Amino acid sequence: MLRLADPRFGDDAVQAIARVLASGHLTQGPVVAEFEAAVAAFCGAAHGIATTSATTALELALAALDIGPGDEVIVADFTYPATGNVVLQRGARLRLADVDPATYCVDPAAVERLIGPRTRAVIAVDVFGLPADYATLEPLLDRHGIPLVCDAACSLGGAIGARRTGTFGRMACFSFHPRKSLTTGEGGMVVTDDGALADRLRRLRNHGTERRDWRATFVEPGFNARMSDLNAALGLVQVPRHAGTVARRRALAQRLGDRIAALPGVRPQAVPAGTLHPYQAYVVVLDPIYDRDAAIRALRDRGVESTLGTYAMHGEPAFARACGTRAGDLPASQALMERTLALPLHERMAEADVDRVASALADVLPLVRRAPARA
């Protein structure tokens, strides 16, 4: 089976884990600090705060902004539901914004329409790694005095011009889940240039504590979102080669795009000029003439793992109840949820594997074509 992701490690990771085990310091120790500094430096940011996941990174980001009941947070609708869950878990009102049907990222005009007197933050999502339209979002939200939080879960190594993801907004939150291009098994990180915010994030991550010598003082209610040194060791060995990982993924994505360009009714994610897409996932939109779900099953039958792109939150039961929405209220996001198809793409694939994916998709499309509607 050609898998969507293939997280495997070499001897350097085994040795890094062995060093941590031999040290006797397993959690929130020196290796975590090294990993934080390495990721922040890679992005070009001042501070990294490692966490247990991107979800807890987002939770800490909202807590650090003091968001709670009575506040509203605008969130891109086409995303994994963790992005919306963190808002509801804070007791705030979730406002869902539709997306650009070509890039899949949040539509700044949709964000602007939702801004109101209670808007306390906006969470943009770098969908499948493609950076959101920060050239428009940053000045828009600066004019309104609203903090921008970047759900950069998929986008480590992405960039707009010379700026890498991690340097947009007040904070950016990365994921190191196994489907990501740099993985620690489970893990995440908040990256920011704001020193005071970084100090508070570190405090919130560790039960709201401040330490003086050996004594911990609990200064505010916090969380346990500490990353272990074992996880950090896995990540640390990958950071020096991550730019090469991204370059390899981009080369494979170009090859796959070239191979499927002639397939009718298949549209890859659009990448704006000047934007570097790190391709955490390679996702296409199928024309409605095709049965997307049948395509997923047919590809899997041929040994090519596939799935939907991601979710239109507004139509999922939990968010429909919380937001008073119905499936289809945000039409661009709904169409993407119904028609996107994720294809295998990761740095361990060979060119022949890419060709196999393209050939399998070409074989499958005629089989999943819908019958013409009767007049």
3-class SS letters over 88-147: HHCCCEEEEECECCCCCCECHHHHHHHCCCCEEEEEEECHHHCCCCHHHHHHHHHHHCCC
Residue 185: predicted pLDDT:
96
Cα 228 from Cα 21, distance rounded (Å) = 11
Provide φ and ψ at 95, rounded to 5°: -115, 120
Q: Which residues of 215-244 are buried (b: 16+ CB within 10 A; e: fewer)?
A: eeeeeeebbebbbbbbbbbbbbbbbeebee
Residue 215: predicted pLDDT:
92
- Strands, E, within the chain: which ranges? 47-51, 72-76, 93-97, 119-125, 148-151, 159-160, 163-164, 171-175, 188-192, 209-212, 215-218, 266-268, 275-276, 282-286, 340-343
In terms of Cα–Cα distance, which of 12, 45, 46, 51 is closest to 28?
A: 51
In terms of Cα–Cα distance, which of 79, 84, 95, 66 is closest to 311?
A: 79
Q: Which residue has the tokens 């009575």?
A: 70
Residue 373: predicted pLDDT:
66
Cα 189 from Cα 357, distance rounded (Å) = 32
Residue 374: predicted pLDDT:
67
Cα 40 from Cα 65, distance rounded (Å) = 21
- Antiparallel, parallel or unpaired: β 266-268 and 282-286: antiparallel
Amino acid at 51: T
Six-digit token string for 25: 């310091």
- Residue 309 CB contacts under 8 Å (≥ 6 apart), including other chains: 78, 104, 128, 281, 283, 336, 337, 340, 341, 342
Provide φ and ψ at 133, rounded to 5°: -80, 70
Q: Which residue has the tokens 């500094």?
A: 37
Cα 90 from Cα 361, distance rounded (Å) = 42
CATH fold label, 242-368: Aspartate Aminotransferase, domain 1 (3.90.1150)
Residue 372: predicted pLDDT:
79
Whether 52 is catalytic: no
Q: Which residues of the chain have pLDDT under 50?
A: none
pLDDT digits (tens, 9 = 90+) for 26-74: 998 999 999 999 999 999 999 999 999 999 999 999 999 999 999 999 9
The sign of the torsion formed by the CA atoms of 124, 227, 60, 164 equals negative
Domain 11-241 classified CATH 3.40.50.720? no
- Residue of 90, 180, 242, 292 marked catalytic: 180
Domain extents in the chain: 11-241, 242-368
Would you tell me the crossing angle of helices 195-205 and 54-64 to the nearest 10 degrees? 120
Cα 298 from Cα 301, distance rounded (Å) = 5
- 229 with 27: CB under 8 angstroms? yes
Residue 212: predicted pLDDT:
87
Q: Which residue has the tokens 């990174």?
A: 57
Six-digit token string for 71: 């506040």
What phi-psi label fits residue 32: left (phi over 0), alpha (psi between -120 and 50 degrees) or beta? Answer: alpha
Amino acid at 5: A
